[in-house]
């Protein structure tokens, strides 16, 4: 949108058809993968945090008629600029207002957004009619190199309403007016094409080693140039400084001439969206100071499509509310990263260090390939582990707050460390048991489930699925890598249902009825005191059911003897494949079993009322004849 077109010069680089082999596809996401700013016009009014209105006739800037003898008075009325139905409508009207015969609107991002280089896009349908002048263009945020046009102007798209199949692209540079110059081209749309239809108009602006400006229409290269200069500084000035975005619909002026009786009013420019992209740094760092809160949009990363890594620094809150698609890791090193949309971290494995927090908003089913708590915290109300949520959650140190409802679906995995004792709290736990179901690997850790968060029957089923026939290499259910890898005897996973209904599920050895990390005579006394041994009645781990079959019998005692832990002190591994130092020698073989049976007060003929010839052969002592 040119100012002062009394010296308006367009050096036509060639009349370009946007069809045929000369056009090449734009590679916007490859070259500029970070959506740095956008307006999709999904609200009900022009967003004042993104746009400001420029009003009047330009006389306040010493540019009456906006320097081009234009005929409109710009307003901020909804009659001239309205947002509805996902569109911004800029409408020119034939009406007396402010001493002019026409009204319209002119919007700028000045004071809200400016960027040096990148990709800038608009999808719009433009009005037809003599004397109508819609434009999507850019002005410098500051006149660093001098007054217009020494500091530059970039016209991404201008159109004459009386030329339905043509648009113009232009850059302005050189000296300050009146010593300015310009270059550009007129573009002809493919046969049958009209500016009244929606088209994508875009500019890619390269800065750095090989400066270049490239214009695209509907994804096809239309024109490009690297040829410009300014008296205010060395090349690539003036196009190496931040520019604002502009949208307007002018009426009349030197570029288009005045409207006539054939011009339809009201005339509307309809804009579907405006977007700005920037190149992705190899490693993005966003530092939010303690006490502050900032959205990724505020930080200049409205949407991130590529990054080798992203580091969240500073003690403040950073809010991710966009659908990002970068595959590099996200490192939450300090403060809080709050996720308020499901795909904010859809392709990024996320590591939360000590001092950092990953907070998943209420009702948000976040999709993340892996979350690793390396000393940090995870805040969540509900967690789904699987292809439709967080695929893997690994906790080497840290905590989960909010006692979330935890569902481990098919393909999902929760992993606690193998070598360190770690306890996490959840409100409920559900593990998919079907083929390819979920997996909870407790390592040497423990999960505490709130009262009512899992039934004993479901828990036993999950344990049996993870046990995989005693090998502890199952692909779903609840298992323990520490149990599978430990030397010195069998290991398993125990559970304890407290009087309050809370369930503890822990790396354990058969016989450890109270999950205190040791197996001794007190555990055998506990089995005896429960009164369930040999009765065939329902039994849980704390009553001696170490094989998860729902009853306590001699096979559970045999499992305890085979664990190699009775009377040896703590059995938790200090490192993988290494047990804690034994403190008490363990009785061996049948001597241990006899001692165990004696400790629980059970004669080798069985419990009261159930002799060795009863219907429950599990009560017979090993080696005893009938």
Instruction: Give catalytic status of residue 153 as yes or no.
Output: yes
List Cα–Cα distances, 278 to 116, 202, 484, in angstroms.
9, 13, 50
Predicted pLDDT of residue 598: 53
Which is catalytic among the residues 158, 333, 446, 543? 158
List Cα–Cα distances, 544 to 52, 326, 476, 553, 608, in angstroms.
73, 50, 24, 8, 18
Predicted pLDDT of residue 183: 97
Predicted pLDDT of residue 304: 85
Name the DSSP letter for residue 485: H
Residues of the chain with confidence (pLDDT) below 50? 3-28, 575-593, 599-626
Predicted pLDDT of residue 95: 98
User: Backbone phi, then psi, for 524, in 5-degree steps?
Assistant: -70, -40
Predicted pLDDT of residue 573: 64
Which is catalytic among the residues 70, 153, 446, 543? 153
Domain boundaries, the chain: 9-278
Instruction: Give catalytic status of residue 433 as yes or no.
Output: no
Query: What global pTM score does this model have?
Result: 0.66
List Cα–Cα distances, 509 to 182, 441, 596, in angstroms.
82, 16, 16
Q: Please name the residue ranges forming H helices in 174-215.
A: none
* CATH number of the 9-278 domain: 2.60.120.200
Predicted pLDDT of residue 603: 34
Nearest to 343 by CA among 313, 299, 388: 388
b/e per residue 574-587 (b: at least 16 CB within 10 A) = eeeeebeeeeeebe
Task: Label residue 436 exposed, middle or buried (CB < 10 Å: 0-12, 13-18, 19+).
Answer: exposed
User: Backbone phi, then psi, for 345, in 5-degree steps?
Assistant: -125, 35
Predicted pLDDT of residue 345: 96
186 — alpha (psi -120 to 50), left (phi > 0) or beta?
A: beta
Predicted pLDDT of residue 11: 34
């Amino acid at each position: 949108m040119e100012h002062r077109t009394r010296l308006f010069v367009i050096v036509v680089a060639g009349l370009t058809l946007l069809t045929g082999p000369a056009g090449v596809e734009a590679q916007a996401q490859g070259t500029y993968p970070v959506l740095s700013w956008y307006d999709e016009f999904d609200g009900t009014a022009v967003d004042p945090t993104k746009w400001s209105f420029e009003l009047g006739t330009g006389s306040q800037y010493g540019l009456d008629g906006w320097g081009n003898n234009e005929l409109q008075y710009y307003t901020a009325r909804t009659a001239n600029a309205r947002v509805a139905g996902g569109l911004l409508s800029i409408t020119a009207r034939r009406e007396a207002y402010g001493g002019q015969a026409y009204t319209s609107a002119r919007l700028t991002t000045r004071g809200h957004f400016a960027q040096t280089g990148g990709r800038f896009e608009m999808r719009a349908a433009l009005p037809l009619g003599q004397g109508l002048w819609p434009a999507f263009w850019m002005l410098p945020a500051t006149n660093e190199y001098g007054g217009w046009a020494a500091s530059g102007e970039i016209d991404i798209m201008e159109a004459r309403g009386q030329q339905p199949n043509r648009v113009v692209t232009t850059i302005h540079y050189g000296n300050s007016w009146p010593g300015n110059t310009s270059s550009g081209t007129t573009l002809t749309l493919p046969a049958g094409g009209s500016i009244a239809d929606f088209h994508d108009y875009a500019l890619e602006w390269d800065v750095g080693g090989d400066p270049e400006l490239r214009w695209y229409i509907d994804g096809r290269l239309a024109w490009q140039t690297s040829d410009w200069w300014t008296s205010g500084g060395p090349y690539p000035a003036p196009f190496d400084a931040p520019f604002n975005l502009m949208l307007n619909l002018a009426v009349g002026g030197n570029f288009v001439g005045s409207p006539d009786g054939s011009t339809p009013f009201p005339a509307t420019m309809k804009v579907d969206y405006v977007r700005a992209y920037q190149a992705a740094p190899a490693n993005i760092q966003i530092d939010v100071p303690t006490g502050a809160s900032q959205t990724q949009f505020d930080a200049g990363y409205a949407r991130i499509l590529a990054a080798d890594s992203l580091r969240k620094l500073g003690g403040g809150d950073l809010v991710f509310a966009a659908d990002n698609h970068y595959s590099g890791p996200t490192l939450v090193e300090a403060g809080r990263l709050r996720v308020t949309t499901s795909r904010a971290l859809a392709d990024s494995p996320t590591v939360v260090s000590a001092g950092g927090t990953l907070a998943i908003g209420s009702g948000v089913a976040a999709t993340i390939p892996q979350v690793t708590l390396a000393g940090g915290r995870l805040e969540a109300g509900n967690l789904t582990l699987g292809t439709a949520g967080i695929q893997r959650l690994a906790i080497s140190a840290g905590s989960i707050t909010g006692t979330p409802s935890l569902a481990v679906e098919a393909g999902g995995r929760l992993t606690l460390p193998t070598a360190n004792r770690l306890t996490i709290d959840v409100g409920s736990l559900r593990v998919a048991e079907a083929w390819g179901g979920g997996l909870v690997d407790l390592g040497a850790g423990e999960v505490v489930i709130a009262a009512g968060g899992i039934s004993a029957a479901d828990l036993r089923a999950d344990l049996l699925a993870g046990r995989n026939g005693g090998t502890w290499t199952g692909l779903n259910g609840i298992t323990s890598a520490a149990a599978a890898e430990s030397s010195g005897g069998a290991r398993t996973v125990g559970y304890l249902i407290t009087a309050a209904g809370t369930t503890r599920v822990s790396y354990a050895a058969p016989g450890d009825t109270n999950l205190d990390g040791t197996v001794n005579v007190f555990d055998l006394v506990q089995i005896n005191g429960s009164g369930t041994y040999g009765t065939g009645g329902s039994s849980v781990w704390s009553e001696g059911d170490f094989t998860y079959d729902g009853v306590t019998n001699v096979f559970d005692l045999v499992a305890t003897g085979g664990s190699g832990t009775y009377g040896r002190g703590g059995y938790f591994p200090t490192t993988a494949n290494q047990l804690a130092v034994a403190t008490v020698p363990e009785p061996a073989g049948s001597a241990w079993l006899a001692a165990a049976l004696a400790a629980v007060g059970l004669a080798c003929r069985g419990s009261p009322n159930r002799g060795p010839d009863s219907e429950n052969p599990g009560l017979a002592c090993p080696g005893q004849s009938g």
